[in-house]
């Protein structure tokens, strides 16, 4: 399950290169007096809109003993305000033909509604209402606590991939909150109190800590006025405390082995890498596509097709991570192959990247794939809104215009250098899952 999240993040990292027509589309970007950041983009191809509100809070803002609180709060955001009681938020959205959902990541909590554009006003009103007036009723908290625990059971306790990803992440981070699972440890989920949740909500759910992004068949200035009317009265709050944790450099290989009821073993390897603030970020992005982008990619070709030792294999980099995170490798052996063989094979592939340049074809293909994916994403208002937000969170939505040129500028030498710098024994974290006999 975690791998699916990784893949989603990887896909989300692809750049947005506007077509000639789209390059003329202005993003209306502004900040309200209370600090709410607003990005609006008109898209008149279908009578729909995607309205998203992203809060700059995720599991990275949690403390030990209260992990999972950001995600728990995400659930509770659907539980009602004085004006719209328990369950009414979702019912109102559905009544208006909208689809709503939310997710919590390491860095952000994001809420979205995709809806026919003539119903957008209602959405704006509802989002402002629950930002400002969330009830956090104690009995709702208790029943949702059970739901979140069930979710943890589905995604982690009963899922070998999820369980292994959780253990490997915990291994890789000694100090930084990225080491704790987003869903939270079960013991914390059982213990978290209403007071802690309310304090977390007060600290982070502020207009000045949020972004509203909407893409759709509307008039941007009209929508801005509506957003201003609905969100404007919400007062600014004290700026949330910045996270001051730096993960100390890893000084040696780390390993964890899990034993679970499973059919086949799994191998994960994770290495500490920098985030987008580094000049190596674009190279790491291209590297992840060379390794794992499709059936012609390096790991699929070598491990799945040529050597026939893996059922699946891949690599992934999170370009948009707020703090330096991990470059993941994974492989599932075919029956009869051991995890040791797969680990060795993955390390051989890393060595190969460190010793030889990738071919011109591989490099060109990876760049073409990244650029094409970018164009494909333009077909959906939801994707356009999400991508704008990712870049805005990185430092400004205009950064997306630099993304593809930076990808295009990556050289084979830079890939070799990145592999040499980052895929070293000193930075290696290994997770192995062995099926219980």
Partner 1 sequence: MGYARRLLVLAWLALVPAAAAATPPIAHREVLPNGIVLLVAERPAVPIVSVRAYVRAGSVFDPSGSPGLANLTADLLTRGTTRRSGEELDRAIEFVGGSLDADAGRDGTTVGVSVLKKDLDLGLDLLAEVIRTPTFPDAEVARRVTELKAAIRRSMENPESVASRELMQLVYPHHPYGHPVEGTLESVGTLDRERVLDFYRRHFRPDAMIVALVGAVTVSEARQAILARFGNWERPDAPTPAVSAPPPTPSDRTKTIERELTQATVYLGRPAIRQNDPDYFALVVADYVLGGGSASRLYMKVREEAGLAYSVGSHVAPGRYGATTLISLQTRNSEVTTAVEIVRRQMQRMSTEPVLAQELDLAKSYLIGSFPLRLDTSSKVASFLIGVEDGGLGLDYADTFRREVARVSAEDVRRVSGVYFAPATFASVTVGDQASAPKAD
Site for partner 1 in 283-312 (CB under 8 A): 293-297, 301, 304-305, 308, 311
Q: Which is nearer to partner 1, 78 or 423 (CB)?
A: 78
Which of 42, 62, 74, 166 is catalytic? The answer is 74
Site for partner 1 in 4-23 (CB under 8 A): 19, 21
Using the rule CB under 8 A, which residue among 27, 116, 171, 417 binds partner 1? 116
157 forms part of the interface with partner 1 (CB under 8 A): yes
The CA distance from 307 to 328, in Å, is 21
Contact segment (CB under 8 A) with partner 1 among 109-117, 218-226, 277-285, 405-413 equals 109-117
Angle between helices 360-377 and 281-292 (to 10 degrees): 100
Q: Which is closer to partner 1, CB of 115 or CB of 227?
A: 115
Q: What CA–CA distances, in Å, run from 194 to 72, 76, 190, 336, 429?
A: 11, 11, 12, 50, 36
Binding mask 183-202 for partner 1 (x = CB under 8 A): ---x---x------------
Position among 264, 347, 399, 417 found at the interface with partner 1 (CB under 8 A): 264
Task: Indicate whether 52 belongs to the interface with partner 1 (CB under 8 A).
Answer: no
Q: Is 251 in the site for partner 1 (CB under 8 A)?
A: no
Q: Judged by CB, which is closer to partner 1: 174, or 305?
A: 305
74 is annotated as an active-site residue: yes
Contact between 45 and partner 1 by CB under 8 A: the answer reads: yes
* 62 forms part of the interface with partner 1 (CB under 8 A): no
Shortest distance (Å) from residue 353 CB to partner 1: 19
- Torsion angles phi and psi, residue 101, rounded to 5: -165, 180
**What is the closest distance, in whole angstroms, from the C-beta atom of residue 386 to partner 1 in the complex?**
14
Which of 106/384 has CB closer to partner 1?
384
Q: Of 30, 31, 146, 355, which lies in the binding site for partner 1, with binding defined by CB under 8 A?
A: 146
Of positions 25, 125, 247, 378, contacts partner 1 by CB under 8 A: 378
Compare residues 256 and 262 and give the one whose CB is closer to partner 1.
262
The verdict on 119 binding partner 1 (CB under 8 A) reads yes
Q: Does 380 bind partner 1 (CB under 8 A)?
A: yes
Q: How far is it, in rounded angstroms, from Cα 210 to Cα 249?
A: 32
CB of 93 to partner 1, least distance (A): 9
Should residue 181 be labelled a site residue for partner 1 when binding is judged by CB under 8 A? Answer: no
Question: Does residue 338 interact with partner 1 by CB under 8 A?
Answer: no
145 binds partner 1 (CB under 8 A): yes
Contact flag: residue 221 with partner 1 (CB under 8 A)? no
Q: Please count the residues of this chain forming the interface with partner 1, following the rule CB under 8 A.
A: 72
Task: Report, in Å, the least distance between residue 295 CB and partner 1.
Answer: 4
SS3 letters across the chain: CHHHHHHHHHHHCCCCCCCHHHHCCCCEEEECCCCCEEEEEECCCCCEEEEEEEECCCHHHCCCCCCCHHHHHHHHCCCCCCCCCCCHHHHHHHHCCCEEEEEECCCCEEEEEEEEHHHHHHHHHHHHHHHHHCCCCHHHHHHHHHHHHHHHHHHHHCCHHHHHHHHHHHHHCCCCHHHCCCCCCHHHHHHCCHHHHHHHHHHHCCHHHEEEEEEECCCHHHHHHHHHHHHCCCCCCCCCCCCCCCCCCCCCCEEEEEEECCCCCEEEEEEEECCCCCCCHHHHHHHHHHHHCCCCCHHHHHHHHHCCCEEEEEEECCCCCCCCEEEEEEEEECCCCCHHHHHHHHHHHHHHHHHCCCCHHHHHHHHHHHHHHHHHHCCCHHHHHHHHHHHHHHCCHHHHHHHHHHHHHCCHHHHHHHHHHHCCHHHEEEEEEEECC
Cβ nearer to partner 1, comparing 241 with 336: 336
Nearest residue (CB) to partner 1, 151 versus 401: 151
Q: Is 158 in the site for partner 1 (CB under 8 A)?
A: yes
Choose between 48 and 128: whose C-beta lies nearer to partner 1. 48
Six token digits for residue 152? 């943890």
Is residue 48 a contact residue for partner 1 (CB under 8 A)? Answer: yes
Residues labelled as active-site residues: 74
């Amino acid at each position: 399950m975690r791998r699916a999240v990784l893949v989603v993040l990887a896909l989300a990292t692809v750049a947005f290169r506007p077509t000639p027509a789209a390059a003329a589309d202005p993003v209306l970007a502004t900040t309200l007096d209370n600090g709410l950041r607003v990005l609006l983009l008109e898209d008149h191809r279908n009578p729909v809109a995607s309205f998203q509100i992203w809060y700059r809070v995720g599991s990275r803002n949690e403390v030990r003993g209260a992990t999972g609180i950001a995600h728990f709060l995400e659930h509770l955001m659907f539980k009602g305000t004085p004006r719209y009681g328990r369950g009414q938020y979702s019912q109102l959205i559905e009544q208006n033909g909208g689809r709503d959902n939310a997710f919590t990541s390491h860095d952000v909590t994001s809420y979205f509604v995709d809806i026919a554009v003539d119903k957008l006003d209602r959405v704006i009103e509802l989002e402002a209402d629950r930002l400002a007036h969330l009830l956090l009723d104690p009995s709702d908290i208790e029943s949702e606590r059970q739901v979140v625990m069930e979710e943890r059971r589905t995604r982690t306790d009963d899922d070998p991939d999820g369980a292994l990803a959780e253990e490997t992440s915990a291994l890789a981070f000694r100090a930084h909150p990225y080491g704790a699972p987003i869903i939270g440890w079960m013991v914390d989920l059982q213990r978290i109190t209403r007071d802690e949740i309310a304090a977390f909500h007060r600290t982070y759910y502020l207009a000045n800590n949020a972004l509203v992004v909407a893409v759709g068949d509307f008039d941007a200035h009209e929508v801005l006025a509506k957003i201003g009317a609905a969100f404007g009265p919400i007062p600014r709050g004290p700026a949330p405390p910045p996270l001051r944790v730096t993960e100390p450099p890893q000084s040696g290989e780390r390993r964890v082995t899990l034993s679970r009821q499973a059919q086949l073993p799994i191998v994960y390897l994770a290495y500490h890498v920098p985030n987008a603030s580094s000049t190596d970020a674009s190279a790491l992005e291209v590297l992840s596509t060379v390794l794992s982008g499709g059936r012609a990619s390096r790991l699929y070709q070598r491990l799945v097709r040529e050597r026939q030792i893996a059922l699946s294999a891949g690599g992934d980099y999170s370009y948009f991570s707020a703090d330096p995170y991990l470059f993941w490798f994974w492989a599932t052996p075919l029956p009869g192959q051991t995890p040791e063989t797969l680990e060795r094979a993955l390390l051989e592939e890393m060595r190969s990247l460190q010793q030889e340049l990738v071919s011109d074809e591989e490099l060109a293909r990876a760049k073409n794939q990244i650029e094409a994916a970018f164009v494909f994403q333009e077909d959906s208002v939801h994707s356009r809104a999400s991508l704008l937000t990712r870049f805005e969170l990185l430092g400004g939505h205009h950064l997306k215009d630099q993304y593809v040129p930076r990808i295009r500028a990556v050289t084979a030498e830079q890939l070799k250098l990145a592999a040499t710098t980052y895929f070293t024994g000193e930075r290696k974290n290994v997770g192995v899952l062995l099926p219980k006999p």
